[in-house]
Structure 1
Amino acid sequence: MARSNRSRSRAARAREEHPELDVERLTSGWRRTEVRGGREWNVQPVSEAQAAKAYLCPGCGQDVAPGVAHLVAWRADGVLGDAADLASRRHWHTHCWRIGAA
């Protein structure tokens, strides 16, 4: 039987070369940087599916319950370095962060 010299289609190669997209990661949001009160903050949205634990919101003092979409914020310009800033991150209700309780 003769062998075909034709190359595979572009679509067939693309399916083989690229991993499947992680939809949850894409819909969970992206980390961004915001400036508040002269300080730079990293802000990372957390989706309902990713919110597995309860946290205390520093803005209102109420619980951020498991399964509730919220934000995680930490300093981006701290003097003690990135590891210390990341260790001091806090989980905020989205509303509390938006009204500027930081």
Structure 2
Amino acid sequence: MEEAADGDWVVRPITGAATGKTYRCPGCDQEIRPGTPHVVAWPAYVRDSDLDPWDVDSAADRRRHWHTACWRSRDRRR
């Protein structure tokens, strides 16, 4: 669990060996290639703004794959 200005987040490191799929990092909009260590993050709690227009059952439905460096510097990218 990480606390940040944009809310509380669940953050899990992913080893390169655990990845077999390509993801797009929301921080830099570049691909995270299979075999690349990275993090998966999602809001710790469902926020009211997350419920509209989607019917979200869980905050984990909002999880995204990030390059580790992009996740760490996300507050400076805005």
* TM-score, with length taken from structure 1: 0.61
Total equivalences in the alignment: 69
Aligned to 1:100: 74
Check if 1:65 corresponds to 2:25.
no
Correspondence 1:73-92 to 2 at 5 A = 73-79=41-47, 83-92=57-66
* TM-score, with length taken from structure 2: 0.78
Structure 1 unaligned blocks of 5 or more: 1-32
Report the RMSD for the aligned CA atoms in angstroms.
1.9
Correspondence 1:38-57 to 2 at 5 A = 38-57=6-25
Report 1 or 2 for greater relative contact order, CA contacts < 8 Å, sequence distance ≥ 6.
2
What is the Cα deviation at residue 88 of structure 1? 1.3
**For residues 29 and 6 of structure 2, what CA distance do their matches in structure 1 show?**
23
Structure 2 unaligned blocks of 5 or more: none
- Which has the larger share of strand? 2
- Greater than 2 Å deviation, 4+ residue runs: none
Seq. identity, %: 42
